[in-house]
Amino acid sequence: MIKLADVSKTYKNGVNALYNINLFIDQSEFVYIIGPTGSGKSTLIRLLDAEEKPTKGLVEVSGINVGQLRHSKIPFYRRHIGVVFQDFKLLPSKTVFENVMYALEITNMNPLLARQRVREVLQLVDLTEKSSHYPNQLSGGQQQRAVIARAIANKPRILIADEPTGNLDPQKSGEIIQLLERINREEKTTILMVTHDIGIVNQYKKRTIALEAGHIVADMVEGGYIQHESNHSTI
Amino acid sequence: MNRIIRPFKEGFIGLVRHMAMSISSIMAVMVTLFLVSLFLLLTVNLQQITTSVQSKVQIHVQILNEVSLDQIGELKREILEIPGVVQVDFSDKDKELDRFIASYGEEGKIFEMYRGEKNPLRNAFIIDVSEGELIDQVSTKIRLLDGIESVNYGGLNALKLIEILNSIRDSGLILVSVLGLLAIFLITNTIKMSIHSRMSEIQIMRTIGATNGFIRSPFLIEGILIGILGSILPIIITIFGYQYIYQSLNGVLLSSIFILRPVFPFVFELSYLIALLGISVGLLGSFISVSRYLRTVR
């Protein structure tokens, strides 16, 4: 499903973000990606989202060589992956409903079916009452859920969530995880969740990949995480 | 169906939801189109005056008394063959005296005593030339023909006037073109700024998976709408303003030889041009700015 073979990324300004990453994630897996700031998590997402090209190696998603995608083909690729951005990226001049609708309009979906699907996902993320609100009228958690609704509206094969619980309290965070679990279970969507939140990783145990300074330092299928002080000991 | 309606709907919504930006763009379009309209009015009228002056300048050719009527007919044919000559009218001594008397108005009556045998004037041709600029050339050629006593065309003054009017018109045209370019630059810039403020919006759309065409089309409609809305007021001012000026000047500038361009259908042609300019500039401005941002994001 997702395959990274020998992937390195060096930015134009000389910053090395990833070194020789090898990774395989299967269909309908739920994976955490953890690591400190600057460990290369965001770069990994950008590579998967076709925002950046790998300097070296192969990034393959659903059999598509993402690094080689032409500028004009990228939009079509992106419709198969939903991304929940850390900074939300909601369109400020559109309501919640329109924001979610936009993700379906771009695929030229039948408007009637599209509206129905929007209502469906808004109900799933519990935002039905806020559907005519603009993003700046929502709380952080509500915006977060709106982004999730938009990301899943198109029934993507893969959902990438960048710190989806970053600015939520523990209770709300739990709700988001449960929501993602439901999407993973019911829609068979592969989920990649980048997080800082050790609590969540320990509470909802799943395969956990730890990045540090551009290297994969641990890939724990059984999940869980032990805070490491000076060494890289993890289980 | 949805594909065709959506950009229009979204374009309208974009215009309304970014009201402040839209208004500033519309204002920029309005001011520049108004200036363009003003200079076009001036230039076209100068052109009109130049041609009307040119058409009034005639060559007056006096024929030697020895030349017989048959020979006069021959001369007329020869003159007609000169390139640029449109019309040759024969005016005999008697008619010449009429013209002479008329040119002195009331006091001219005393010259009536010269009518008949005592008439000192010559038979003459009055020649119309297709373009004022040809007058000098045609006169020189006529002067070389046999039986011609003198050739006159209102003298150097007429030529000078035509020259001046032509140069004013030419500089007016240059001014309009420069102004037009300036307008396009100014409007494109304003629209660019308004779209720049929505750069993140464009990036988000692309991130979600919208194709370039899908992102661009509502912006193009928005640009067209800005062009249309911005040209309404200049068009209204042009139509009614020119009509007012024309009527209060009685259709002439200073003297009756300087005839202004009639109001209709001139103002409609001008309005059409202004609207077209507004729309194309709005469209172009949007297209250039959106395309530029689309190219920067992957």
Inform me whether the pLDDT recorded for A227 exceeds 80.
Answer: no
pLDDT band at B154 (very low <50, low <70, confident <90, very high): low
In a domain, B162, yes or no: no
Indicate whether A206 pLDDT > 50: yes
Q: How far is A157 from chain B (nearest CA, A)?
A: 14
User: 3-state DSSP call for residue A45?
Assistant: helix
pLDDT of residue B188 exceeding 50: yes
Could you give the CA distance from residue A171 to residue A227 in angstroms, rounded to a whole number? 22
Assess contact for B245 and B37: CB atoms under 8 A. Answer: no
Q: Based on the domain organization, do B77 and B140 belong to the same domain? A: yes
In sequence order, the β-bridge partners of residue A60 are: A3, A65
Do B133 and B100 fall within a single domain? yes
Q: Indicate if ipTM > 0.95.
A: no
The span from the CA of B143 to the CA of B186, in Å, is: 55
Give the per-residue pLDDT at B257.
66
Average pLDDT over residues B5-11: 85
What's the pTM?
A: 0.70
B234 shares a domain with B205 = yes
Average pLDDT, chain A: 87
Mutate which of B9, B204, B216 to test chain A, going by most A C-beta atoms within 10 A?
A: B204
Task: Write the residue in B2, B208, B209 that is nearest to A111 by C-beta.
Answer: B2
B174 and B65 assigned to the same domain: no
Inform me whether the C-beta atom of residue A11 falls under 8 Å from chain B C-beta atoms: no
- pLDDT confidence of residue A231: 45
How far out from the chain centre does Cα B173 lie?
Answer: 8
Amino acid B276: pLDDT: 92
Chain B residues touching A85 at Cβ < 8 A: 207
Identify from A49, A52, A66, A78 which residue to disrupt to test chain B contact, counting B C-beta atoms within 10 A and taking the largest count: A78
Q: B118, B153, B188 — which closes off a domain? A: B153
Tell me the pLDDT tens digit for each residue of B94-106.
888 888 887 777 7
Most confident residue range from A153-157, B3-7, B287-291: A153-157
Residues 6+ apart with CB under 8 A from A78: A49, A50, B207, B208, B209
pLDDT at B93 exceeding the cut of 70: yes
Number of domains, chain B:
2
Q: Are residues B279 and B172 in the same domain?
A: yes
Q: Which of B114, B130, B153 is the last residue of a domain?
A: B153
Query: Same domain, yes or no, for B137 and B185?
Result: no
Q: Which of A75, A83, A107 lies at the smallest CB-CB distance from B206?
A: A75
What range does the domain containing B173 cover? 2-53+167-296
**What CATH number is associated with residue B86?**
3.30.70.3040
Question: d(Cα B82, Cα A6) in Å, to the nearest integer?
Answer: 88
List A residues 89-108 in contact with B (Cβ-Cβ < 8 A): 89-93, 102-103, 105-108
pLDDT at position B240 is 92
Of B18, B201, B209, nearest to A75 by CB-CB distance is B209
| Residue B247 and residue B176 share a domain | yes
Same domain as B209, residue B269: yes
Q: Residue B155 pLDDT more than 70?
A: no
Lowest-confidence segment of B122-126, B160-164, B233-237 by average pLDDT: B160-164
| CA–CA dist B196, B288 (Å, integer) | 11
Neighbours of B63 (CB within 10 A): 23
**Interchain CB contacts (distance < 8 Å): A and B:** 57
Test A76 with B209 for CB contact under 8 angstroms: yes
pLDDT tens for each residue of A166-196: 777 788 888 888 889 988 998 889 999 998 8
Contact assignment for A108 to B2 by CB distance below 8 Å? yes
Tell me if B298 and A51 make a contact (CB, 8 A cut-off).
Answer: yes
Structure token pair of residue B206: 């692309």
Q: If we measure between CA atoms, which residue out of A3, A82, A10, A20 comes closest to residue A211?
A: A20
pLDDT for A232 beyond 50: no
Query: Residue A129 pLDDT more than 90?
Result: yes
Q: Residue A16 pLDDT more than 60? A: yes
Model pLDDT for residues B204-256, shown as the tens digit of each residue = 888 888 998 888 998 899 889 999 999 999 999 999 998 898 888 877 776 66
pLDDT tens-digit series, residues B38-91: 888 888 888 888 777 776 777 888 888 888 888 888 888 888 888 888 888 888
State which of B98, B120, B153 marks the end of a domain.
Answer: B153
pLDDT tens digits, one per residue of A66-119: 989 988 899 999 998 999 988 888 998 899 999 999 999 988 888 899 999 999
Give domain status of residue B158, yes or no: no
* Interface contact A75-B6, CB threshold 8 A: no
What pLDDT, on the 0 to 100 scale, is given for residue A234? 45
Distance from CA of A201 to the nearest CA of B (A): 28
Q: Find the mean pLDDT for residues B182-197.
A: 74
Residues of A in contact with B18 (CB under 8 A): 93
User: Which pLDDT does position A159 carry in this prediction?
Assistant: 93
Give me the percent of chain A exceeding a pLDDT of 70. Answer: 94
Q: Is residue B160 part of a domain?
A: no
What residues in B contact A91, CB-CB < 8 Å?
A: 201, 204-205
> Does residue A78 belong to the interface with chain B, where contact is any CB pair within 8 Å?
yes
Is residue B224 a part of any domain in this protein? yes
Same domain, residue pair B144 and B38: no
Are B45 and B171 part of one and the same domain? Answer: yes
pLDDT reported for residue B284? 86
Is a pLDDT exceeding 60 seen at residue A228? Answer: no
> CA angle, A64 as apex, A59 and A67 as ends, to 5°?
40
Q: Do B298 and A71 touch (CB under 8 A)?
A: yes
Choosing among A52, A80, A87, A94, which should be mutated to test the B contact, i.e. which has the most B CBs within 10 A?
A94
* pLDDT at position B9 over 90: no
Q: Do B14 and A103 touch (CB under 8 A)?
A: no
- What integer is the mean pLDDT of B116-125? 84
The reported pLDDT for the residue numbered A233 is: 44
What order of strands is seen across the sheet that includes strand A2-10? Answer: A16-25, A2-10, A56-61, A64-65
Give Cβ neighbours of residue B73 (< 8 Å, ≥ 6 apart): none
- Whether residue B133 is found in the same domain as residue B203: no
**Which residue on chain B is closest to A73 by alpha carbon?**
B211
Nearest CA in chain B to A52: B298
Q: Name which of A45, A74, A132 to mutate to probe chain B: the one with the most chain B Cβ atoms within 10 A of its Cβ.
A: A74
Q: Are B290 and B172 in a shared domain? A: yes
